[in-house]
Amino acid sequence: MSLATAAMPIVSAAARAEDTAASPGPSLKTLQQACFPSSLTAIPGEEIPEKHDHRFDPPPSRGSALAPAAAVPAPLRGAIRRVELPAGLKLIALTFDLCEDRGEVAGYEGRIIDALRAEGVKATFFAGGKWMRSHVARTEQLMTDPLFELGNHAEAHRNLRWLDGNNLTDEILGPQRTYENIRKGLAETQCAASAPQAMQSVAPRLSLFRFPFGACNPQAMQAVNDAGLLAIQWDVSTGDPDPHVGPASILHAIARQTSPGSIVISHANGRGWHTAEAIKDSIQALKKKGYTFVTVSELLAAGKPVIADTCYDNKPGDTDRYDYLRGLSGRPRTPVAQGTPEQPPPAGKHVPTSALPWSAPDQSLGPWNVNPGR
């Protein structure tokens, strides 16, 4: 497809959007108010990641059944970067990554979510499986909020370009299992049991996927799409994982780069350094320009997705650099047989796990574990 606009009826995308459309909103709101009457707002310090915590590292059992999902059809396969909309329709999708490495507990930036709720702004959160397990209550609150939808951001934020076999499958399906387990647990609570119709409005599965680091190769993309997950990239990056990017720069990036049909990437896991400070002004600036905020699924249902055949941030190949910042464990590695940072392997080349020249993943944390951006 090579950055082409996929021309097709968005029937499948619309079907995926039905659980996050506006119609079930009132029942979802009733469910949320019943289960979380006074615990939605931000807690000071909750946004700060905690290192050297391995409690949530073990992934869910592979034996647990998953909600059925058909493979993504050919016209929707690939990296969806934005959506081409009918003339005059000014929709935008704000997205926030909730990623977490092994050996840590990442944060929850409640100030961002508070601002979205106060402004009535819809958004999509891409959550890692491990992040959901370490933030079960927050995951339940997000999944029951009619403003929001959840997507899959891989199990433990590993670079899928390095993975194959069960390692690749677990990174893709781990969050699916975690999400469905949390949903099942919520449904069994007394507050949810009192509102069974509302619980039915909570999406039974995740249908969107975001690659860690925004990096993929053909094998990883095929595995994601075969699992029934649409691969969602972005066309507007705020740069918020960089602590030197202040609120004014984030606001400027959003105002300058956004156009109708844009997908904006930020972070709400304590590593979007100044997003909480910039979010209210960014929302107001976009509203003044006439934009309406929708979830990614709703954006897809409103037009034709612009699809690339590979994953990247601003230009093809720019996320390949994460191959040399992150190995399986998140620590810096140099794949001896495949090249060095000065002489990297060919872009997009898949390296089987069995060929990696280092031992089993190191669970410890070091300075390289600071999320480099995605």
Could you tell me the CATH number of the domain that includes residue 114?
3.20.20.370
Q: Select the highest-mean-pLDDT range: 36-45, 264-273, 330-339.
A: 264-273
Residue 115 lies in a domain: yes
Other C-beta atoms lying within 10 Å of the C-beta of residue 189: 13
pLDDT > 50? residue 255: yes
Average pLDDT over residues 334-347: 33
In this prediction, residue 37 has a pLDDT band, given cuts at 50, 70 and 90, of confident
Residue 45 lies in a domain: no
C-alpha gyration radius of the chain: 19
For the chain, the first-to-last Cα distance in angstroms comes to 24
162 three-state secondary structure: helix
Compute the distance between CA of residue 251 and CA of residue 233 in angstroms, rounded to an integer.
Answer: 20
Q: What is the pTM of this model?
A: 0.84
The residue type found at 219 is: Q
Average pLDDT over residues 340-366: 31
Residue 343 lies in a domain: no
Residue 337 lies in a domain: no
pLDDT of residue 195: 83
Average pLDDT over residues 96-116: 97
Average pLDDT over residues 287-314: 97
Q: Are 60 and 174 in contact (CB under 8 A)?
A: yes
Residue 49 lies in a domain: no
Find tokens 């249902």 and name the residue. Answer: 301
Average pLDDT over residues 125-152: 98
Residue 231 lies in a domain: yes
Q: Select the highest-mean-pLDDT range: 93-102, 194-203, 363-372.
A: 93-102
Residue 162 lies in a domain: yes
Q: Select the highest-mean-pLDDT range: 4-13, 162-171, 361-370.
A: 162-171
In this prediction, residue 194 has a pLDDT band, given cuts at 50, 70 and 90, of confident
Which helix (H) or strand (E) segment holds residue 306: the answer is: strand 304-308
As a whole number of angstroms, the longest Cα–Cα distance in the chain is 61
Ramachandran angles phi, psi of 51, nearest 5°: -90, 165
236 three-state secondary structure: strand
Average pLDDT over residues 214-225: 97
Residue 140 lies in a domain: yes
pLDDT > 60? residue 253: yes
Closest CA to 173 of 129, 221, 222: 129
pLDDT of residue 17: 39
Q: How many domains does the chain have?
A: 1
In this prediction, residue 83 has a pLDDT band, given cuts at 50, 70 and 90, of very high
Q: What range defines the domain where residue 113 resides?
A: 4-36+71-321
Q: Are 356 and 162 in contact (CB under 8 A)?
A: yes
